[in-house]
Amino acid sequence: MEIAHTRNFCIIAHVDHGKTTLSDRLLEHTNTVAQRVLTDQHLDSMDLERERGITIKSHPVTMLYPSKNGTTYKLNLMDTPGHVDFSYEVSRSLAACEGALLLIDSAQGVEAQTVANAHLAFGQNLKVIPVINKIDLPGANLDLCLSQLEDILTIPAEEAILASGKAGIGIEEILEAVVERVPPPRWSDHAHTRALVFDSLYDSYRGVIAYVRVFSGEVKPGDAMLLMSNGNKSEVKEVGIFTPKMEKAQKLAAGDVGYLVSNIKDTSEIKTGDTITLAQRPATEMLPGYQEVRPMVFCGLYPVDSSDYEKLKAAMGRLRLNDAAFVFASESSVALGFGFRCGFLGLLHMEIIQERIRREHDVDIISTYPSVVYHVVTDDGALREVDNPVNLPDPGAVREIREPTIKAAIHIPNESMGDIFALIMEKRGTIDHTDTLDANRIMLTCTLPLNEILVDFNDRLKSITRGYGSMDYELGEYRQAELVKMEILINAEPVDAFASIVHREKAEGKGRELCGRLAEIIPPQMFKVAIQAAIGGKIIARDNVKEMRKDVTAKCYGGDISRKRKLLDKQKEGKKKMKQFGRVSIPSDAFIKVLKTN
């Protein structure tokens, strides 16, 4: 097929605005998937995606569409995630496209993620086609959506297509708009073969399978390919397209989206965002990929059964292959044994990775409290990056600690404004300015410490706004803050698994909460055991583990009180002596309970 008849586009939108349902209708309309085989959310192949109703990985598919002008077009579609944690998936899909369908929910209007994804598409010079989806809903407000399209996104309202993915309305118009408005594949006249790796996965039989968009030249089995980032060479074994199953092809030509199997067997050799060229006539400059993603949230992952360490390591290696944002390195803890320090893009990303390790690789794991990367300036002026509280230098040697902040755009209903202001203040945030979106909603632009939004911010935002609030954020600058390392001492010994970096004002409250929880969970000991929260050498909170107490006076019936007192004093002396030499054995399930409730 001529390159002029190929169109590469993706679907971008806020979470839950109907991207995957619309892609189902496109597959159905173009007869790419037979009606008897088609399922709801057909492109969401992971169990986790179906359960949560969200898209986690972007899914490519090639469709053939006979247009009204009598020409058959090859349409390469990518269904992308909507959640803020997976925006890197959106950026890699956009890098492989020339156009994008921007979906707007007719009942919700323009949301935080809609704005962020639209700007990503504009930044890559893609042709954006606005689609007002779910127009069959009783609560649809088309006038509001069209005015927001012009006011917030500066896209002319007459360009919008009215559609419903569920009812199949407007599908023909969308396909015709893709054919007419999306330009043919760019950079196809380059002298050398260049293909962008936008995703990859590991197959236990075939090794590494790279998902590629060929920009110029062609790739076929038997070619010697070269990875431009590291200079590695290997032979192409198989190429093919997605329909949406993998289907073998004789070659991948300029403009095609497909997969490529080579004799690369090691997961770390092929990078997402890399450019593939031919070893005989290599290209000199790489394709402009997206920026390499940097993890923002870190936590320790440990196998509950220490014999699963190697199994966990293998599982992480495979997940790392098709998730460029996930990083890990070995570490050990006195309390939890050998494990890994892992980096993620956000809390949902962390949750998904942990769930995939449990399900797909059958490893039971426990995670430590999540933290972020701090910049620590020591007395000698050196700057250190610290992602683990255990590695924080001694307070006496620290000049200042800087924490990462985020620039957040929060869309909320007007009536929730007071409560959201209070939440932002509680999280040590500042509101930079507010914009009125329409009669019912406003957008707050604010700066927040990343550490404060990790655990419960999104849940509380949804709960205060009764589900109508949405947030998009990007990493801001590092700012100095009054941060301290809080340690938990059990019987005067620090337990590294519970160490955390907290703001000085909040340290006492968090210390009390953690000590109280530990006191409930740790089983009773033979002698009184103190659980203390400490900053440096100063104790800021304390609780006690319950004592086992044998009733040594049970056999004394009546008689002189001094007999009972003598037995009690003897017991007290024994416990005092035991406390000098005794150690507290904390069962591993106590760590698991505390860290899981965290």
Q: What is the pLDDT of residues 163-221, one digit of tens each?
A: 998 889 999 999 999 999 999 999 898 889 999 988 777 777 888 888 899 999 999 99
- Is the pLDDT confidence value at 101 over 80? yes
**Of 48-57, 281-290, 389-398, 505-514, which has the strongest mean pLDDT?**
505-514
User: Is the pLDDT higher at 461 or at 295?
Assistant: 461
d(CA 162, CA 129): 11
Residue 135 labeled ligand binder: yes
d(CA 183, CA 8): 9
Q: Are 378 and 388 in contact (CB under 8 A)?
A: no
Residue 17 labeled ligand binder: yes
DSSP character at residue 242: E
d(CA 58, CA 199): 9
Q: What pLDDT score was predicted for residue 598?
A: 47
Domains of the chain from N-terminus onward: 3-181 (3.40.50.300), 194-278 (2.40.30.10), 297-367 (3.30.70.870), 374-481 (3.30.70.240), 485-597 (3.30.70.2570)
Residue 435 labeled ligand binder: no
Q: What pLDDT score was predicted for residue 33?
A: 77
Amino acid present at 398: V
Q: What pLDDT score was predicted for residue 592?
A: 60
**Of 87-96, 320-329, 366-375, which has the strongest mean pLDDT?**
366-375
Residue 16 labeled ligand binder: yes
Q: Which residue has the tokens 């098709």?
A: 322
φ/ψ of residue 292, rounded to 5:
-70, 130
Residue 313 labeled ligand binder: no
φ/ψ of residue 588, rounded to 5:
-60, -30
Beta bridge partners of 240: 248, 259
Residue 597 labeled ligand binder: no
Q: Write down the H helix ranges in 297-429.
A: 309-321, 347-360, 417-426
User: Is the pLDDT higher at 439 or at 141?
Assistant: 141
**Of 37-51, 230-244, 542-556, which has the strongest mean pLDDT?**
230-244
Structure tokens at 225: 């390919």
Residue 18 labeled ligand binder: yes
With residue 88 as reference, give the H or E element that holds it. helix 87-95
Which range, of 355-359, 410-414, 550-554, averages the lowest pLDDT?
550-554
